[in-house]
Amino acid sequence: MRVFAFTLLAGLAAGLTAAAAQEQAITLKPGPGLDKVQANCSTCHSLDYIQMNSPFLNAAGWTAEVTKMIKAMGAPIGDDDAKAIIDYLTKNYGT
């Protein structure tokens, strides 16, 4: 039974390592506020969510998303950083 458990765990670990190796780095557009986005948003989720949602969100949509992350999800983002993030997202990923 121990051999089976060890083999199973080793296989899972190898699979996770392979999956992580295939993950591609997300490069967002340069601009003012990018540092705030990278520092705040990537602590909870991948930055590819920004690119996936950008076809759907305008300034009001990005404001609502950032507000939701702070108020509903508990993201510890201050007012100044929130404004910089919203401005960056609207300018670079808004509709």
Average pLDDT over residues 45-54: 90
Q: How far apart are CA 65 and CA 60, in angstroms?
A: 9
**What pLDDT is recorded for position 62?**
96
Q: Write out the two tokens for 70.
A: 């702070």
Q: How far apart are CA 95 and CA 89, in angstroms?
A: 10
pLDDT class of 25 with cuts at 50, 70, 90: confident
Q: How far apart are CA 62 and CA 73, in angstroms?
A: 15
**What pLDDT is recorded for position 55?**
87
- Residue 82, pLDDT > 60, answer yes
Burial pattern 17-30, b for ≥16 Cβ within 10 A else e, equals eeeeeeeeeeebee
Which CATH number does 25-93 carry?
1.10.760.10
pTM for the full predicted model: 0.74
Higher pLDDT, 4 or 45: 45
Domain boundaries, the chain: 25-93
